[in-house]
A and B are shown apart, each in its own frame.
Chain A
Amino acid sequence: QVQLVESGGGLVRPGESLRLSCADSGFTFSGFYMSWIRQAPGKGLEWVSYINSDGLIFYADSVKGRFTISRDNVKKSLFLQMNSLRAEDTAVYYCAREDNTRSGHYLPYWGQGTLVTVSS
């Protein structure tokens, strides 16, 4: 049973930083491709960042230069370092994982989400 558990969300002021974590309780973690997806209150889903098993990384234009994705395969964890936060970054942040078929970045596994609120 795959379980992804996010943590690290909270209330911060504009310009501040936050680091999100996502712990994977599955048997293997290192080979999986993962993304952070966010959902602003009452809005749809927005892809934020991606990292594969070889360290290939991508970011949405809206967060490029401010957010950094990383992973620790020993700790089976995914991270999102968020700097220079803005009000428009307010959202529930989900970590999500592909399956092991390498047939595309669709996402069968999601965490429960962690809420990030950026407000003065």
Chain B
Amino acid sequence: ETVMTQSPATLSVSPGESATLSCRASQSVGTSLAWYQQKPGQTPRLLIYHASTRATGIPVRFSGRGSGTEFTLTITSLQSEDFAVYYCQQYLNWPPWTFGQGTKVEIK
């Protein structure tokens, strides 16, 4: 099983600043890495797939990078609606498809 580890667990950021979230895989997943955003009480929303491709309707302030075992999600100029929990998911080595434990981006 490919274990996905996200860091930090919580990131405190002021509105307008940037945030960089990390996701590490226990073995290579190539670029088969997705990022999701989940707000309280809401369904997860796909942000990024193939490590760096924005999903339909996702603002350009969200960007993904990485390959192999190290990935980052960067959110530039954080807006109020961006404060949420973010999950990474690998889809190369399956089953199982595995998620990270999440990073909460909170208002500083």
Which residues of A are in contact with B by a Cβ distance under 8 Å?
Answer: 35, 37, 44-47, 50, 58-61, 94, 103-108, 110-113
Q: Of B38, B92, B95, B98, which is within 8 A of A50 by CB?
A: B95
Q: Which of chain B's residues 65-108 have a Cβ closer than 8 Å to chain A?
A: 87, 89, 91-92, 94-102
Given contacts A44-B99, A45-B99, A47-B99, contact A104 B43 (CB under 8 A): no
Kindly list chain B residues whose C-beta atoms are within 8 Å of the C-beta of A46.
99
Contact A108 B46 (CB under 8 A): yes
Please tell me the number of chain B residues within 8 Å of chain A, measured between CB atoms. Answer: 25
The distance in angstroms between the C-alpha atoms of A37 and B97, with both chains bound, is 10
Q: Which residue of A lies closest to B32 (CB)?
A: A104
Contact A104 B91 (CB under 8 A): yes
Contact B101 A44 (CB under 8 A): yes
The distance in angstroms between the C-alpha atoms of A61 and B95, with both chains bound, is 10
Contact A106 B43 (CB under 8 A): no
* B34 at interface by CB-CB < 8 Å: yes
* B49 at interface by CB-CB < 8 Å: yes
Sampled A-B contacts (7; CB under 8 Å)? A44-B102, A46-B99, A47-B96, A50-B95, A50-B97, A106-B32, A106-B50
Q: Which residue of B lies closest to A108 (CB)?
A: B46
Given contacts A35-B97, A46-B99, contact A105 B43 (CB under 8 A): no
Kindly list chain A residues whose C-beta atoms are within 8 Å of the C-beta of B38.
45
Q: Which residue of A lies closest to B56 (CB)?
A: A108
- Shortest distance in angstroms between A97's beta carbon and chain B's nearest beta carbon? 11
Q: Which residue of B lies closest to A112 (CB)?
A: B43
